[in-house]
């Protein structure tokens, strides 16, 4: 069976691809465990680090938000689709047309390609806590309505509704995960408004000074890359009846303030590393970030078996192990 990972060359997608190949099987919409014959990576460009050789791995690079592009990826042998492809929050806010084309139209085309496959693919859609916003309670729960205050959040909310409706109609077996901010992202800073949450850890650990654009008291609801990949795989295993009428779930996470992140960095790597973080407010970033929720109760997700990281120190240590070769610049 084929598994398609859109956005599969990205930092989360590439980790998911590796995990799928290691696992070697996928749960189909019929509930059977099927051997993975092919993992097809679809992305705009190759990954920063080449994939390890594996005869089951196929790659296609290009703009798959274009008309009919999804039909080139999803065939009658496709058992599952992990739809991670998207442009990030800051870019979607600055370029409305591109955000709508990639994040919304691209999702719709992917769902339409699945709709016309008789085998009813299982679809895991990466949504975001950016679907919340505006006048929110201090602690959000599973009943909190979706009131996004950014174009990115709106596009993700619409994507969730489409996944729910296509599942209701029997076109797909869908499930949408509202991802917290993912920390720590490797590589260079991107246009995501949440990019600072990784930069204030990643750059100091590599000996670089870094500017934080938000206040030290800013809270972030987050998960590590390891836990996100585990949640994506777990979502694909859950039987449809466990989802009920809603195919969306807010994932468990942890709330950590910027100052708590820096304190954890000092514990793990030393005060000298933590001292490389400086503060310089950025009104554009602040406006987006301060509108995001930071505290949740995620009873539904926990009942379904999703799990958060236990300690933020573990998140930093995992980044050092997975992305820095086990060492950092002290």
151: its two tokens: 């174009």
Cα 316 from Cα 330, distance rounded (Å): 14
Helix/strand/coil for 122: strand
- Other Cβ atoms closer than 10 A to 121: 28
Helix/strand/coil for 181: strand
Q: What is the DSSP string of 243-312?
A: TTT--EEEPP-EEEEHHHHHHHHHHHH-HHHHTTEEE---HHHHHHHTTS---B--HHHHHTT----S-H
The answer, yes or no, to whether the previous bond of 176 is cis (omega within 30 of 0) is no
Helix/strand/coil for 9: coil
Name the residue among 101, 196, 200, 209 with its Cα closest to residue 155: 101
Asked if residues 7 and 84 have their Cβ atoms less than 8 Å apart, the reply is yes
Catalytic annotation, pick one of 132, 152, 166, 328: 152
Q: Residue 161: in which H helix or E strand, if any? A: helix 151-168
Active-site annotation holds for 152: yes
Helix/strand/coil for 12: helix
Q: What residues are paired with 127 via a beta bridge? A: 178
The two beta strands, 122-128 and 173-179, are parallel
Could you give the residue numbers annotated as active site? 152
């Amino acid at each position: 069976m084929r598994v398609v990972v859109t956005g599969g060359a990205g930092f989360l997608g590439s980790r998911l691809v590796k995990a799928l190949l290691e696992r070697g099987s996928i749960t189909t919409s019929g509930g059977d465990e099927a051997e993975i014959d092919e993992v097809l990576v679809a992305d705009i460009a190759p990954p920063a680090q080449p994939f390890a050789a594996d005869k089951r791995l196929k790659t296609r690079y290009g703009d798959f938000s274009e008309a009919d592009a999804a039909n080139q990826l999803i065939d009658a042998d496709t058992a599952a689709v992990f739809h991670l492809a998207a442009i990030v929050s800051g870019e979607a806010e600055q370029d409305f047309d591109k955000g709508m084309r990639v994040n919304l139209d691209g999702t719709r085309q992917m769902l339409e390609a699945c709709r016309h496959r008789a085998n009813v693919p299982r679809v895991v859609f990466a949504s975001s806590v950016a679907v919340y916003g505006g006048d929110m309670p201090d602690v959000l729960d599973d009943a909190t309505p979706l009131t996004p205050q950014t174009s990115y959040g709106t596009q993700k909310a619409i994507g969730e509704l489409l996944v729910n409706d296509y599942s209701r109609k029997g076109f797909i077996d869908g499930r949408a995960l509202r991802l917290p901010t993912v920390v720590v992202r490797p590589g260079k800073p991107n246009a995501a408004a949440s990019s600072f949450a990784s930069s204030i850890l990643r750059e100091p650990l590599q000996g670089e000074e870094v500017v934080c654009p938000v206040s030290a008291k800013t809270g972030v609801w987050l998960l590590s890359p390891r836990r996100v990949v585990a949640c994506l795989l777990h979502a694909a295993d859950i039987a449809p009846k466990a989802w009920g009428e809603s195919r969306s779930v807010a994932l468990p996470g942890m709330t950590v303030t910027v100052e708590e992140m820096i304190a954890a960095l000092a514990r793990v790597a030393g005060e000298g590393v933590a001292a490389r973080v400086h503060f310089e407010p950025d009104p554009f970033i602040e406006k987006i970030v301060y509108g995001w929720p930071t505290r949740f109760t995620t009873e539904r997700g926990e009942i379904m078996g999703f799990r958060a990281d236990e300690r933020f120190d573990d998140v930093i240590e995992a980044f050092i192990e997975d992305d820095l070769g086990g060492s950092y610049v002290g």
